[in-house]
Amino acid sequence: MIKLIINADDCGNTAGMNSAIGDCIEEGIISSTTVMAVSGGGQFITAVELYKQYSDNISFGAHLNLTSGEPLSAVHVPCFLQEGFCKKDNGKVLFNGLRYRWKYVSPALARAIYGELDAQLKKIEDAGIRVSHIDSHQHIHYSPWLMPIFCKLAEAHSIKRMRRPKTIVDYSVKNCVKLLYNECLLYHMRHLSKTDFFFSVHDYLNLKNKKDGIYELMCHPGHDKPYYQLELSQLRDYLNHHPEVELINYNDLK
């Protein structure tokens, strides 16, 4: 049997995204979302309102962010700047950390990153949100140097679930390297619960032989790019034509 967790990323980013996520919850085409404590759009408060309204319907996780917006942990900003992790824009200190998916993270910067992520999680929890799981903006937790930080943070906050790396089904030579890389990430995640598979909506719908198991599909309600609008339309159509598929959420994942 196929079970789907359909997660809406970027809750708390913009008012439009929050509104679209609320509409998707009402329609029943998502079963989970992940909240940003820090974002470029800064709509965390309305994300908290969504939690108050819909926490009995879907799971709410943490969408931890090291790539956009202003850091919460001002005490750590000097280290960020010294390491080139942040940038200054019109006097504001902004994240610029996407490069660290592939770049070595020094011990000092690792401590600063842990402090920032801890501050983000505490902001979410202090708002009353019971965090079901962790994922990250632009998949930054897939860094081999950052994944251990995320796992340590999950343990400290007694969070038992995390988004796994994207599933690879094409066993080309190039993808064999990616498979080995994913196995390294999964080793760090070995004490955390995760789905059997993780795909974008597009990749899942184009998967010819869907095995039984638990899948997570990510979607992006409220984004204005045609690709993201299409994925919701395709997802809606798929669910309408496959009533046998069971929707679950991260709270159901043991």
- Spatial distance between the Cα atoms of 23 and 40, rounded to a whole number of angstroms: 22
Provide the Cα torsion 202, 203, 209, 211; round to 10°. -100
DSSP secondary structure letter of residue 161: B
Confidence of residue 75 (pLDDT cuts 50, 70, 90): confident
C-alpha angle 78-81-85 in degrees, rounded to nearest 5: 130
Question: Which has the minimum average pLDDT: 81-85, 113-117, 150-154?
Answer: 81-85
Q: Quick one: pLDDT at residue 243?
A: 93
- CATH code at position 205: 3.20.20.370
Q: Quick one: pLDDT at residue 177?
A: 84
**Global pTM value:** 0.95
What is the count of structural domains for the chain?
1
Structure tokens at 104: 């070595």
- Spatial distance between the Cα atoms of 210 and 201, rounded to a whole number of angstroms: 13
What is the overall mean pLDDT for the chain? 94
Q: Quick one: pLDDT at residue 192?
A: 98
Structure tokens at 23: 């509409």
Q: Quick one: pLDDT at residue 43?
A: 95
DSSP secondary structure letter of residue 215: E
> Which residue is it, tokens 């439009």?
16
The neighbour count for residue 78, using CB atoms within 10 Å, is 12
Domain membership of residue 19 as a residue range: 2-252
- The helix/strand/coil state of 230 is helix
